[in-house]
Every structure is written in C-alpha cells, then in structure tokens.
Amino acid sequence: MSYDPNCNNENCNANRAEYPLTDLLITGTEINYLFICPTKLWYFAKGITMEQENEWVDLGRFLHEQRYANEEKEVLVGSIKIDFIRRGDVIEVHEVKLSKSMEKAHEMQALYYLYYLKKLGIKARAVLHYPKLNETKEVTLDGREGEIEKAIKEVERIKSLPAPPKPVKLKKCLKCAYYELCWV
C-alpha cells in the first residue's frame, strides 16, 4: 500500500488505517536533538525555542531554500517533515545539513524518517546532503530498527520530565542558540 500525500479523500484515508501513527508523535528534529543535547531537546519540545535567533539556523534555512530550489520540499507526513523527497523506484528521503559535526544526529534523524515510512508501508532510502562540503551520504535502515526504537523511547522519557535535564558544558555549547538560556 502506498501513501499519497496529495490525497484528501475520505476513502483514501480509510485505506491507510495506520496513518497517522498515533504511537509516533515525535518529530525528526526531536530525534536529532536527542543526539545533540537532551537539555535542548526538553526546551524545544516544551515550545521554549531559540532557533529563531541563531545565525546557523538561518544559514541552514538559506542553504536549503537556495540549493535545492527545484525539489519537492518540506514534505509533511504525519509528525515528520522531510527536507525534500525524490520519487523513483523507491522514495528517496533527502536531508540537507551544514556541516558534519553532528553526523550521528543527522543519521539518526534520517533513520527515524525511514523507520516512520516503513511503518506506513513505504519503502524508502535516505540521503544526507552536505552541500558546503560537496558530499552526500546514504543511510539505510536495515537492521537498525532497534536503535531507533531505543531513541524514540528516550525522547519520550526526556519530554515527560518535569524539568529539563541538567546541561553539560561542551565545546558545541558556544554555537548553540540555547547557550545563554542554559548558562545564565
């Protein structure tokens, strides 16, 4: 069964009984943040966002808008929003990133999308783009479902905490939009 994002028809919706996935309500960004910083994840999930002020975020947005202007972008599927997709024999999920410094987080985010789509019965593969480095990296799910399930549980645990986890000061904090909030 394939998923048609353009379908607004009731019957069509009835055909995909598993959509939306009520047990998967977290976003790709949340999975990403889990591997960057649990404190940031908590604040972000509670709506205390700082991204609007971060120049790195702006730069990423700009790159995404300009570099892949002709792609089918910001594809919303339930609770996930994919940078852009390409349709072929299998659906290709594309994520655009600035640098490789958070590679693990990027990979897990892409894996989560693949996991999510698989639950919907959609076969897909993922490509991470690093246009500034002129590099791409392919990510496949095979056999890594357990890793993703563990991450999902951890995101849910952190989101349910009454207060954010204590931050840990690392080098990456200096570039983070939450720096002042965490350390003031």
* Site pattern 31..50 for another protein (x: CB under 8 A): ---------------xxxx-
Whether the Cβ atoms of residue 72 and residue 91 lie closer than 8 Å to each other: no
Measured CA to CA, the distance from residue 173 to residue 179 in angstroms comes to 6
Q: Which is nearer to another protein, 19 or 179 (CB)?
A: 179
Query: Is residue 53 a contact point for another protein (CB under 8 A)?
Result: yes
Under the criterion CB under 8 A, does residue 57 sit at the interface with another protein?
no
Q: How big is the CA angle at 163 (ends 168 and 104), to the nearest 5 degrees?
A: 45
* 3-class SS letters over 111-161: HHHHHHHHHCCCCEEEEEEECCCCEEEEECCCCCHHHHHHHHHHHHHHHCC
Say how many residues touch another protein, by CB under 8 A: 14
Q: Which stretch binds another protein (CB under 8 A): 15-23, 90-98, 135-143, 156-164?
A: 156-164
- Cα–Cα distance measured from residue 18 to residue 104, given in angstroms and rounded to the nearest whole number: 29
Asked if residue 22 binds another protein (CB under 8 A), the reply is no
Q: Which is nearer to another protein, 78 or 164 (CB)?
A: 164
Which amino acid, residue 44?
F
Which among 69-77, 78-86, 113-121, 176-184 is the span making contact with another protein, rule CB under 8 A? 176-184
Q: Nearest approach, Cβ of 74 to another protein (angstroms)? A: 18
- From CA 166, how far away is CA 184, in angstroms rounded? 13
**Chain contacts with another protein (rule: CB under 8 A):** 46-49, 52-53, 162-164, 179-181, 183-184
